Amino acid sequence: MTSTTPLVMRIMALSISTAKRAGVIIRDVLKQGDLGIVDKGKNDPQTEADRSAEKCIIASLSKKFPTIKIIGEEGGTDLNVCDDWLVSEPNESFLQQSCPAAWQDAQPEDFVIWVDPLDGTAEYTQGFVEHVTVLIGVAIKNSAVGGIIHQPFYQHASGEIGRTIWGLKGLGTGGFTPVAPPKDEFIITTTRSHSNALHQRAVDVFNASKVLKVGGAGYKVLQLLEGKAHAYVFATPGCKKWDTCAPEAVLEANGGTLTNINGEHYEYHADVEHVNRRGVLASVGSDHKELVEKIPLDVRQAVGSK
């Protein structure tokens, strides 16, 4: 890495290494057994793994990039972490690639990094660990541009555990092999822990051949990228900018689309409302606008209206 390496490349490369380190923390907390669960609200648990992984990520990124705005789900500002949690080595193979021209000159003040140290906390506490991801999203001037989705419990055939997927708009994706979803089916992936009647109406209109109920925004987007589903439908408020920034960037770097339920992209500047009030609709290999229009207008208008 040279001093002329564009900032976005340096942020992505350190985020890849840091997400992996956070994944080790998440596995260690589970192994040690005491999850230290705190309820932040209805269906909104936090564990020692969420807290510790966030400290590791925010301390590591802010040490290297002190002037960049970083927003984490757990609101952590304690940067006094043990050396063992401070990651300073960027992922070298990511740095071998060329920076897309569009981001080459982005300045520190153009960035916001959105950190979800553990996406799928409810599933983590219930033993569905394959749904768990670490999400680091890189926004430039209001848009989700880059993202890391790390799966700490992914089992490789070789026995190795964990994998790290990245995406940068204009460059592409890495860490996995994209697969197109089957042409003769329409499979929806959706929440298993945050459903309600309105959300169910939005899912039902698609008359899907299969509805997969899994945890986490990161995991659902990976299902789209690996051809397991055609659309991710979440017609309720509840997920936040740190849930969607990384998944949106990775999905869109691979030709998919992630918007609210009305087909509009979310904004990711530092002062934006954290809640994704109008839900999530993500798709791959479909006409996204057609999917939006399938959802009755009264349902779309009701999502997030109060």
Ligand X SMILES: Nc1ncnc2c1ncn2[C@@H]1O[C@H](COP(=O)(O)O)[C@@H](O)[C@H]1OP(=O)(O)O
Binding-site residue ranges for Mg(2+): 73, 116, 118-119, 243
Record the tokens describing residue 152, joined without a space: 């700490």
List, in sequence order, every residue forming a beta bridge with 133; answer none if it has no partner: 119
Residues 6+ apart with CB under 8 A from 163: 150, 151, 154, 156, 175, 176
Residue 278 in contact with residue 263, Cβ under 8 Å? no
Contact yes or no for 190/221 (Cβ under 8 A):
no
Q: Would you say 179 and 226 are in contact if contact means Cβ atoms under 8 Å apart?
A: yes
Site of tokens 């990775």: 250
Residue of this chain nearest to ligand X (CB atom): 238
Instruction: Find the part of the chain contacting Mg ion (CB under 5 A) among 82-90, 113-121, 207-215, 270-278.
Output: 113-121
Total Cβ atoms within 10 A of residue 214 = 21
Minimum CB–partner distance for residue 219 and ligand X (Å): 8
Q: How far apart are CA 218 and CA 231, in angstroms?
A: 13
The footprint of ligand X (CB under 6 A) covers 43-44, 73, 116, 119-121, 191, 193-194, 215-217, 234, 238-239, 243
**Least distance to Mg ion from the beta carbon of 295, Å?**
23
- In the set 121, 190, 191, 236, the catalytic residue is 121
User: Per the structure block, which two tokens stand in for 279?
Assistant: 């839900």
121 is catalytic: yes
Query: With binding defined as CB under 5 A, does residue 123 bind Mg ion?
Result: no
Residue 50 falls in the annotated catalytic set: yes
Least distance to ligand X from the beta carbon of 128, Å? 10
- Partnered with residue 282 across adjacent β-strands are 232, 258
With CB under 5 A as the contact rule, the residue among 48, 54, 110, 119 that binds Mg ion is: 119
Q: Rule CB under 5 A: choose which of 73, 123, 248, 252 binds Mg ion.
A: 73
Residue 153 interaction partner, one of ligand X, Mg ion, none, beta carbon < 5-8 Å per kind: none
Which CB sits closer to ligand X, 90 or 304?
304
234 binds, among Mg ion, ligand X, none (CB under 5 to 8 A by kind): ligand X
Q: How far is the CB of 28 from Mg ion (least distance, A)?
A: 17
What separation in angstroms does the CA of 202 have from each of 196, 215, 237, 280, 295?
10, 18, 13, 11, 6
When binding is defined by CB under 5 A, the residue of 54, 110, 243, 252 that contacts Mg ion is 243
Look up tokens 């008359």; give the residue. 207
Report how far residue 71's alpha carbon sits from residue 114's, in angstroms, rounded to the nearest whole number: 5
Considering CB distances under 5 to 8 angstroms, the limit depending on partner class, which of ligand X, Mg ion, none binds residue 191?
A: ligand X
Binding-site size for Mg ion (CB under 5 A) equals 6
Query: For residues 48 and 116, which CB has a smaller minimum distance to Mg ion in the complex?
Result: 116
Catalytic residues, by residue number, are: 50, 121
